[in-house]
Amino acid sequence: MFDTALKEGLAIGFGASFGALARFAFTPLMAPEPPAEIIVVFVINFIGCFLMGRFDPGPFFGRGMIGGFTTFSAVSFLAMQSSAFVALVYMAGTMVVGLAAWELGNAFRRHRDRPQEVTP
């Protein structure tokens, strides 16, 4: 039990470090100016949620890499720097779009995994 939990924890930790580094490298390419960060974080979270739904990855790639790539803490931080209305719209929009992205990715996966019908 402990051995399995330790291996899974290490896989998630290593994956998260790679995901965070990818986000760190990716963000300046999309947002050279600080106000654009809010859109970049939104896009990063959309991509991560879609990938989670599309591939249903295991601990290293899922909770690790993709979890480290996405950043809901940055959503909170950016929302704190905004007015209450903008923060509410941004937080709610992030959640709704994240769930929609996951569902879209999941629909692609279900379509891919569906057995193909053979026509005579």
pLDDT in tens, 48-95: 999 999 998 999 999 999 999 998 888 888 888 888 998 899 899 999
Q: In the prediction, which pLDDT does 37 show?
A: 77
Q: In the prediction, which pLDDT does 115 show?
A: 73
The phi-psi region of residue 6 (left if phi > 0; otherwise alpha if psi is between -120 and 50; otherwise beta) is alpha
* Amino acid (1-letter code) at residue 30: M
| Token pair in block for residue 52 | 């989670």
Between CA 61 and CA 19 the distance in angstroms is 9
Mean pLDDT of 24-29: 78
User: Whose structure tokens read 């879209």?
Assistant: 104
Q: In the prediction, which pLDDT does 118 show?
A: 63
94 closest CA partner among 32, 44, 52, 53: 44
Between CA 5 and CA 28 the distance in angstroms is 35
The phi-psi region of residue 88 (left if phi > 0; otherwise alpha if psi is between -120 and 50; otherwise beta) is alpha
pLDDT for 112 beyond 90: no
119 vs 68, residue with greater confidence: 68
29 vs 9, residue with greater confidence: 9
pTM: 0.81
Q: In the prediction, which pLDDT does 17 show?
A: 93
